């Protein structure tokens, strides 16, 4: 067995889902072009939705100059993951606890949620083809460009405003449930959750013909400028979603979920059971190593409304409750640390000609350069970086990130026990 350096170049994979941004407009395509993916050639008319960096069984990353993929290399070299992380997480078969991605969203992704660990195990056992692994999938989205998303239920009084003001929306719900919902603003949190669940489940299971008819009426009203004050902020979103997914019940989720417009550097975290849909923009995404998605709308893929309705937390709050506020570790390195142990992400801005040093981390990490050029060096060597270069850094390895003749931006995901 040949020895391997603690830092090496890995080859990410792309996913060409149809919601991806097309051609060179997509950050995924831009990075894939710089990542040295064998045989990759950019097609301007193809969608480039996701770039995966990690060991997930569906699409593990390769390793430059090795026959084995990243998971196989880590199985052969367990010290790269490190004892502390393998004691805390299931790292069997070289499995990293996290999966790091770039997403380029041209068209809204499905309304979805991710099950917790226990539910994931059950779903995977019952439907292994749909729920492909037994892991949970809390995720963090960090904006690379302006980014729009639907995220978590709005506070009840704000949903109630739409229930009152939008006849096409409340027509889909049983009148007694509408009354119950409008009267619940003073109830206990537990009762509010129960009413929200009932209301949401009636919406998601409403008759498809009725949904399509009400959407047509709603869209016609908006097009003729008939929106009420409360609808001003949401009108364009409704029209866009309906253009992308005509007649889909998910369009009505605009009246229940927070619509967030983020600027580069802002991040949100979505724990188990939080409903969300990414609408537009390019992001870094980090998640527990899983592909388990329960879909409810805005998708041609199979929906699973019963499981979706049953796993949601029904927490209703402003979107800032989902925000991850970064902390400056040094003037050049910001840390995004969501409230779960599975991953943390660093954003590193190194001005041209300068070096940022990262002390050794107890666990494994994956880093991608997103702007500029430079190099990464460690005790035993160095590697060039350009936009799209992806590297693996083994546990307990100190690295230096040096910018070349332009500012260098690197995102680094890691797990530490």
Helix axes 175-182, 189-204, angle to 10 degrees: 150
Q: What gap in Å lies between CA 279 and CA 237, rounded to an integer?
A: 9
CA distance 138 to 120: 12
**3-state DSSP call for residue 204?**
helix
Structure token pair of residue 353:
């000609």
Total count of residues recorded for the chain: 417
Distance CA 61, CA 12 (A): 5
Place of tokens 């292994």: 128
Q: Strands 98-105 and 147-153, how do they pair?
A: unpaired
396 is an annotated ligand-binding site residue:
no
Q: Give the three-class secondary structure for 391.
A: strand
DSSP SS3 for 16: coil
Do residues 375 and 402 lie in contact, with contact meaning Cβ atoms separated by under 8 Å? yes
The C-alpha atoms of residue 195 and residue 3 are separated, in whole angstroms, by: 60
Strand extents, DSSP E, 264-307:
267-270, 276-288, 294-297
Counts for the chain of helices (H) and strands (E), in that order: 11, 24
Catalytic residues: 295
In angstroms, the CA 286 to CA 414 distance is 10
Any known ligand binding at 276?
yes
Count of CB atoms situated within 10 Å of the CB of 185 = 13
Residue 139 annotated as lining a ligand binding site:
yes
End-to-end alpha carbon distance in the chain = 28
Residue 229 counted as an annotated binding residue:
no
Q: Which residue has the tokens 């040094």?
A: 330
Residue 80, classified by CB atoms within 10 Å of its CB into exposed (0-12), middle (13-18) or buried (19+), is: buried
* Residue 25 · residue 33 · CB < 8 Å: no
Sequence ranges of the binding site: 112, 114, 139, 276
Sequence ranges of the binding site for Zn(2+): 112, 114, 139, 276
């Amino acid at each position: 067995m040949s020895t391997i350096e603690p830092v090496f170049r890995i080859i990410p994979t792309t996913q060409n889902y149809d919601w991806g941004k097309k051609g060179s407009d997509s950050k995924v395509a831009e990075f894939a072009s710089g990542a040295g993916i064998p045989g990759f050639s950019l097609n301007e008319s193809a969608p480039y939705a996701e770039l995966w960096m990690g060991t997930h069984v569906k699409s593990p990353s390769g390793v430059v100059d090795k026959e084995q993929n990243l998971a196989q290399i880590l199985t052969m070299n367990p010290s790269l993951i490190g004892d502390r992380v393998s004691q805390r997480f299931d790292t069997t078969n070289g499995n990293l606890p996290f999966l790091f991605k770039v997403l380029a969203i041209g068209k809204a992704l499905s309304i979805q949620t991710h099950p917790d660990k226990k539910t994931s195990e059950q779903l995977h056992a019952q439907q292994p083809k749909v729920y492909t692994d037994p892991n949970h999938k809390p995720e963090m989205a960090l904006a690379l460009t302006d980014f729009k998303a639907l995220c978590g239920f709005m506070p009840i009084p704000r949903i109630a405003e739409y229930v009152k003001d939008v006849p096409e929306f409340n027509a889909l719900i049983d009148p007694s449930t509408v009354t119950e919902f409008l009267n619940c603003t003073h109830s206990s949190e537990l009762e509010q959750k129960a009413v929200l669940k009932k209301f949401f489940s009636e919406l998601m299971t409403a008759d498809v013909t009725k949904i399509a008819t009400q959407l047509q009426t709603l869209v016609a009203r908006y097009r003729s400028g008939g929106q009420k004050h409360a609808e001003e902020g949401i009108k364009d979103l409704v029209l866009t979603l309906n253009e992308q997914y005509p007649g889909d019940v998910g369009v009505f989720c605009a009246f229940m979920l927070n619509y967030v417009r983020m600027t580069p550097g802002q991040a949100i975290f979505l724990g188990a059971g939080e409903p969300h849909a990414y609408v537009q923009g390019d992001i870094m995404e980090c998640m527990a190593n899983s592909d388990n998605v329960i879909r409810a709308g805005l998708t041609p893929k199979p929906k699973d409304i019963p499981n979706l309705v049953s796993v949601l937390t029904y927490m209703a709050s402003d979107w800032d409750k989902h925000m991850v506020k970064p902390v400056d570790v040094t003037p050049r390195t910001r840390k995004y640390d969501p409230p779960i142990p599975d991953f943390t992400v660093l954003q590193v801005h190194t001005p041209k000609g300068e070096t940022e040093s990262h002390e050794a981390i107890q666990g494994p990490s994956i880093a991608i350069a997103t702007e500029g050029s430079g190099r990464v060096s460690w005790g035993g060597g160095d590697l060039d970086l350009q936009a799209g270069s992806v590297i693996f850094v083994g546990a307990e390895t100190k690295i230096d990130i040096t910018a070349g003749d332009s500012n260098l931006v690197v995102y680094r995901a890691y797990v530490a026990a």
